[in-house]
Homo-oligomer: A and B are copies of this chain.
Amino acid sequence: MMKEIKLRLTDVNACNISNLESIFSLANGHVGIRATNPITSDSLAGTLVNGYFEYSPIVYGEVAANYPKRNETIVSLPNLRKIKVMDEKHREFKSARLVDINLDLLSGQLSETYELWNVDKQQINMQVTSYIDQEDVQFFGIQYTFIPISYSSYIYVDKRFSLDEDAQHKIAMKIDDPRKTRKIASIQRQIVTKTRYRQTIMVDTAESNQKIYLTVYSYKNDQPLLSKLTLNKSQTVTYQYNVSQKNTLLDKRQIDWDLIKSHSIEFWQQVWQNSEVSITGNDELNLALHFNIFQLNQSTGRDGKTNIAAKGLSGPGYEGHTFWDTEMYMISYYIYSQPEIAKKLLMYRYNTLDFARNRARQLGVNEGALFAWRSINGEETSAYYPASTAAYHLDGDIAYAIGNYYEATHDDDFLAQYGFEMLLETARFWRRFGCWVNKRDYQQFEFHTVTGPDEYTVMVDNNYFTNRMAQHNLRLAYRLGKRLSEINPRRFAKFNVSTEEMDDFVKIADHIYFPFSDKFQINAQDDTFFSKAIWPFSHTPRDKYPLLLHYHPLTIYRYQVNKQADTLLADLLFPETITAEQLKREYDYYESITTHDSSLSRSIFSTLAARMGYMNKAYDYFLDTVRMDLTDLQGNTEDGLHLANLGGSWMSVVQGFAGMQVTPQGVLKLIPHLPKEWEGFNFRMVFHNRLLNINISGNQTTISLLDGKPMNVLVNDKSYHLEKILKILTKR
């Protein structure tokens, strides 16, 4: 286990100070708190609650039938870090400069130092220490320590909420970038209780009709929210917050600062014990990787009713919506390290099934369910269907995650209560959405007018990725349906699935058509992809990327150009469907036309390249992936972290460099590829109720069974029996 691992100011790209707010944010899956400047930041910025959103009407330039009618936008709550400091003449210390910050990834402690000045340029320093409670998720604790520098009289410290009306407008960001968020006028904020020692503010969303209470109080009751401190020596004041969707007017609990701290430390100990991934021989990458896993854990809803937003709880970008990112980029980490969280994430989808059934009807499909492409509560909110609703593959993505979760846990109870129903409803969707096409001497099943993961090509026929996901989904519904009918026939009977329907799932799956290029001898992204001209890359200046911000969609769509992995993602998910030779051709072709304009692209290119032994490429893409937010590679870390990519960096190491897969027969398999730049790497994982430590160093792979019964593993396609520890010679 590590001794210390801290992210410091010098580890990040601080050119844009707003990046720091995202990077050093604290969260516990419920509340997220951006590391805003406590003195100068807006009074209504930086605090988000998972699942707490407001509706607003979607206005279309031209509307059509069955379009979503309302947006959902995560609400910017009053700033929990804000503090007002005044000198003896009641003049504010209005200037504040961050001079140091570090985040302890082992304990969750955020430590900051600010220099403060009043108008006379007299200085004091302020150290801020904070923890978010990882167990009692309503609580957040913050300590401010004031140190006299060139000012040493007494000061006033005001920790009451301020409701600055102007700030309500400032929190709005530009809405003409679809990756940002919008401002909402229908949110009311008001102070509901106010004593010297305790203040509660209520935030009320008029349209979604949800209330949130935020209460601040000092840790010791004898310390009022507006305090006078004498500054001949350092003075510390400690505050706690309670942020709750329950009525905190009744809940006056105040917990010990030390308890918040110990909840945090215990939580992170547990996380690292089950899922630490470390790199030996490159401290910078090792730190970045820990940071990514730390932040992924912070942003993940753990209650089965909330999920992971595209920016997590680190920023309001993408309006706090959940996308396919969860199932394709983040849930793998949880399935193989904290399967109970993976289950909660899947239960979130289960809880949105009624919305999904209704959405399928709106799309003219009379059976099954279509999950929402972007949403907070599960209701579709996307205002641009070609790159959202048409991405039907989401159904298959969710099914894929259900299958993986089940394979890794054999959680029959989940299968019976939640899993099979989702597999069934998605399989039903594919069955009714697709159609049989008569060819000269056979029939094939096709899916038309769909959009794959690569949103630079939309509304095409037979997107290879989509067809693969549908096939897998249909087969899973059959296979796990059979399993359920054996282990729990009464439960299975409740779903009214006929033998004919189950058989039809298999028949369709077996007849799904996959486009293939005879010319290139590779899978074709869709029926017409290769007939298009290749994007004129050599005539495209660097400042015209990402293309979607500079070219009309119709311009982009008429070329062969990929925003992110599409067919290659299918190749990664279904390694058994492709030969090594074809995969190389395919990788080379698609890589040559991919811009990586999406933050979801590079991790897939890295993971797949590592699997293939394309080590230089794997490593280069990994460098971009693992440090994406620390270097602000996408240029928009200020809006929040790129959560999918955080998960993607875990995939690069575990599923890429270690080549961890589960075979269709349910056996854990490794194909280690150690980058030549490293001495080694090490990771923990959970599989079939066992805790494993896997170490790949030099030319040796060591698998240790830390907890659980013996098991078989495949390493480089050779089977081994793992009792306690297994050392295998593997090529570098």
Contact = CB atoms under 8 A, between A and B. Distances in A.
Nearest to A447: B558
A493 interface: no
Contact of A61 (B383, B448, B528, B548): B383
Interface in A377-427: 382-386, 389-390
B527 A385 contact: no
Contact of A552 (B59, B175, B364): B364
Interface class of chain A by DSSP: loop
A553 B531 CA distance: 25
Contacts of A66: 551-552, 555
A566 interface: no
A461 B531 contact: yes
Contacts of A62: 178, 382-384
A554 interface: yes
A554 B389 contact: yes
Interface string A429-467: 000000111000000001011000000001101000000
Contact of A65 (B67, B382, B436, B548): B548
Given A531-B446, A558-B449, A385 B553 contact: yes
Nearest to A461: B528
Among A59, A178, A390, A528, max chain B CB count under 10 A is at A528
A507 interface: no
Interface in A611-629: none
B554 A390 contact: yes
A190 interface: no
Q: Which of A382, A435, A459 has the most CB of B within 10 A?
A: A459
A17 interface: no
Interface string A41-66: 00000000000000000111111111
A357 to B, nearest CB: 15
A390 B436 CA distance: 29
Contacts of A446: 531
Contacts of A553: 64-65, 385
A582 interface: no
Contacts of A437: 531, 533
B552 A67 contact: yes
A363 interface: yes
A435 B178 contact: no
Nearest to A557: B449
Contact of A533 (B58, B64, B435, B548): B435
Contacts of A548: 64-65
A549 B176 contact: no
Interface in A503-560: 527-528, 531-533, 548-555, 557-558
A362 interface: yes
A286 to B, nearest CB: 39
18 contacts: A58-B61, A59-B59, A59-B60, A61-B384, A62-B178, A63-B175, A63-B176, A65-B548, A65-B552, A67-B552, A363-B554, A364-B554, A389-B554, A435-B532, A437-B533, A448-B528, A448-B531, A459-B459
Contacts of A363: 552, 554-555
Interface in A108-132: none
Contacts of A390: 554
A532 B551 CA distance: 30
B448 A532 contact: yes
Contacts of A555: 66, 363-364
Nearest to A359: B552
B551 A364 contact: yes
Interface in A62-78: 62-67
A527 to B, nearest CB: 6
Contacts of A64: 178, 384, 548, 552-553
Given A59-B59, A461-B531, A65 B554 contact: no
Contacts of A528: 448, 461, 527-528
Contacts of A58: 61
Contacts of A176: 63
A552 B385 contact: yes
Contacts of A386: 386
Contacts of A448: 528, 531-533, 558
A385 B176 CA distance: 17
Contacts of A436: 533
**Top 3 A-B pairs ranked by shortest CB distance?**
A61-B383, A364-B555, A435-B533
Interface string A649-683: 00000000000000000000000000000000000
A450 to B, nearest CB: 8
Nearest to A534: B435
Nearest to A68: B61
Interface string A349-392: 00000000000001110000000000000000011111001100
A163 B387 CA distance: 47
A503 B464 CA distance: 40
Contacts of A389: 552, 554
Q: Which of A65, A383, A384 is most buried by chain B, counting CB atoms within 10 A of its CB?
A: A65
A448 B555 CA distance: 10
A592 B459 CA distance: 25
B549 A383 contact: no
A355 to B, nearest CB: 15
A383 B62 CA distance: 6
Nearest to A530: B437
Contacts of A435: 532-533
A436 B532 CA distance: 9
A175 B383 CA distance: 17
B461 A362 contact: no
Contact of A531 (B59, B61, B364, B527): B527
A565 B102 CA distance: 67
